[in-house]
Amino acid sequence: MVPQPLIIDCDPGVDDAIALLLAFASPELQILGITTVAGNVPLQHTQTNARKICELAGMRQIPIFAGCPRAMLRSTLETAEYVHGATGLGQITLPEPQIPLQEQHGVDFLIATLLAAPEPITIATLGPLTNLAIALIKEPRIIPQIREVVMMGGAITHGNVTPSAEFNIYTDPHAAAVVLTAGLNLTLISLDVTHQAIATPERVSKIRELGDPIGSTVATLLTQYSSHDMGQYGFAGAPLHDPCVIAYLLRPDLFTARPCFVEIETQSAESLGRTIVDWYGVAGKAVNVNVVETIDSDGFYQLLTERLA
């Protein structure tokens, strides 16, 4: 098996951290680097958290880059400490990382790596799309070098930061619009899918029973992380958003999807960041996104638990 070359762009974040651990445990993936962006928490924390998670997993060889500290046009940074904790990893304390932060900017790493690659590279985006959008604007020649972008973002039915918008898209809707109109091979995993992947107490217990530092850390993160969503949505636990992206790369058979035309609302103050999905082709526009509809949540948690072990 030839591992699939992959760049992960993220804003750790509890669910980003678990997505990284799932990716680290998957020999099908060759992780070329991790780029970080401001999102769940400011950039100073997201880049530090990425390095902490790499050290926790013993993955010190993966280079980590800091990218954009704010959205393309919005002057106020939207963050989610109320979900992820003040520094992004809930209440747990991991040692200060010894892995160095790379000096190169995350956007420049994306461009240089893609242009130099002998074959197209997959990009997994787990946070706001600022880094990728800036890279596409700065160097359009990277487009044919991108095999696929699998992104966690968007809300087809109900938003989580406004009635119609999901956090990653709302934080930088203009970046999302750039990415969706760039002519890329895109797969979108929205809240409508991730809200099917609930970390119930039974599923968290199975992870805790792994009995090692990884399992206990993930179980603790999930227990703390669940409180917000249980209160807001009445779920039995937290939905695991970002690990669904990595699971899709590993086991697309766990998901169903259909091609649609998708666009992002960037003009309306009331609907800023809304993900507009043309399910039935009524707009008559060419499809541009593979929109995931469902997930086999039992299969997803079985995969996650087995890999964390």
Among all residues, which ones are annotated catalytic?
A: 241
Please check whether residue 147 is in contact with residue 185, taking contact to mean a CB–CB distance below 8 angstroms.
yes
Please check whether residue 200 is in contact with residue 240, taking contact to mean a CB–CB distance below 8 angstroms.
no
Give the CA-trace dihedral at 160, 72, 54, 248, to 10 degrees. 50
What CA–CA distance (Å, rounded) separates 213 from 246?
Answer: 21
Alpha-carbon dihedral sign for residues 99, 102, 72, 143 = negative
Please check whether residue 43 is in contact with residue 71, taking contact to mean a CB–CB distance below 8 angstroms.
no
| Residues across the chain | 309
Q: Which two tokens stand for residue 201?
A: 């107490």
Please check whether residue 128 is in contact with residue 38, taking contact to mean a CB–CB distance below 8 angstroms.
yes
Residue with tokens 């680290």: 24
What CA–CA distance (Å, rounded) separates 100 from 150?
Answer: 27
Q: Which two tokens stand for residue 171?
A: 């934080």
Alpha-carbon Rg of the chain, whole angstroms? Answer: 18
